Amino acid sequence: MARSIRQKYPLPPHRLQRHILNHPARFKVVACGRRFGKTELGKMLLLKALTTPEKRLWWIAPTFGMAGQVWRDLSLLLAPLNPVVSAARRSIELPGGGFLTIKSAHNPDRLRGAGLDYVVMDEAAFLPETLWPEVVRPMLLDRKGGAAFLSSPLGHNHFWELHRLGIDPAHSEWESFSYSSYDNPTIDRAEIDTIRQITSQRVFQTEYLAQFVDELGAVFRNLDAAVTAPPDAQPDSARRVIIGVDWGRDVDFTVAAVFDADNLRLLALDRFNGLSWSAARARIVALSRRWNASAVWAESNSIGQPNIEVLQAEGIPVRPFNTTSSSKHALIDGLAVAIERGEIALYRDPVLLSELGSYRLSPRTGGGYRYSAPAGAHDDTVIALALAYHGARQGRISFDFA
């Protein structure tokens, strides 16, 4: 007979986690905001299904990296059963013949296999749409297994469709739950309020309020209301001017966005391509001196760094910006929040407004979001404006010793 071991879970569930944990539904769809505690909940649901060591359990995440801590935690929690642990396969073989395995959805066809008693599908909105109906659901047939789908929403995609099953009384085996980040009683609400101030409404609704916002793609909203600046601004020595530069040469464009850092107003745009790098730099030098720029924020990736070094040698106050997935997210989100709240003024430049209007937010394979222009389109004016606004937000420091 299989040996059973009863031990206390190290972190007791909060009230709403306990409600989901104890609900009798066979299939549970949990849409929740960031830091609600869905990962801990998933581990609890998986271990609750482990009533005997013969059980066969899976945890599926978009990538192995996203489930690394889950793997370590479950290995420690199941250590009293003296399992055979394989770090290479991310599997825990139990003495009674069962197993618990961490799986990546990178190649869904490789997930086909033996019957399962329970599966947790983490970040379910970011998993392949066909994974549940074509691969995982058939694996629950012979053992009448259950499943939990945990995720923040991602528009009206397949996770939304599963969530709809759980609110339809006709599907008695399903139950849906929806909780925001505010619903975690262990988090200070003021912390979330602070995040709300620096996050675009659409991202906050999705990531923190766990709302299924349709047409997630649009990034910049309230554009028409932002067009209040005159198109013919002239240099003024009293202004603090920041210039943002995005580099391009042949297919892409070099764009310099001239920005009034005190009044948060776009003053001018210079957009060109087909020039040599020396000619492009000369154009930036002339623009910087004409507007008496306090700083020029330029992307330093790839060809950017050599151009920046030459400009700095010529006395131009250039500051490098290294664009990564995280820094770009913060850069674009900052600009989106400012436009959405009417904090900055633009003038009616057709190219700029077109690029802002078409800029998209799309899901990453491993979870999270990607900001980008549509395929074949440009985003040079968007990046230049975002760099200029970023520079304006850095402020300036002065000391009064009187």
First to last CA, the chain: 85
Tokens of 23: 């609900």
Half-sphere exposure of 85 (CA within 13 A, CB side): 14
Query: Is the Cβ–Cβ distance between 48 and 218 less than 8 Å?
Result: no
Question: What is the per-residue pLDDT across 320-353, written as a single tens digit (0 to 9) for each?
Answer: 999 888 888 889 989 998 998 899 999 999 889 9
Question: What is the per-residue pLDDT across 199-213, written as a single tens digit (0 to 9) for each?
Answer: 877 788 888 998 887
- Give the span between the Cα atoms of 203 and 314, in whole angstroms: 41
Res 78: pLDDT: 86
Q: Is the pLDDT of residue 1 over 80?
A: no
- Helices in 4-86 by DSSP H: which ranges? 15-22, 38-48, 68-77
What does the pLDDT average to over 218-228?
Answer: 87
Burial of 242 (0-12, 13-18, 19+ CB in 10 A): buried
Closest CA to 359 of 345, 344, 342, 340: 340
Torsion angle defined by CA atoms of residues 224, 227, 231 and 235, in that order, rounded to the nearest 10 degrees: -160
Q: Is the pLDDT of residue 74 over 80?
A: yes
Res 53: pLDDT: 78
pLDDT band at 2 (very low <50, low <70, confident <90, very high): very low
Tokens of 21: 């944990």
What does the pLDDT average to over 173-189?
Answer: 93
Q: Is the pLDDT of residue 306 over 70?
A: yes
pLDDT band at 261 (very low <50, low <70, confident <90, very high): very high
Q: 11-20, 86-95, 142-151, 182-191: lowest mean pLDDT where?
A: 86-95
Question: What is the per-residue pLDDT across 120-138, written as a single tens digit (0 to 9) for each?
Answer: 999 999 898 889 999 999 9
Place of tokens 């606004």: 389
pLDDT band at 314 (very low <50, low <70, confident <90, very high): very high
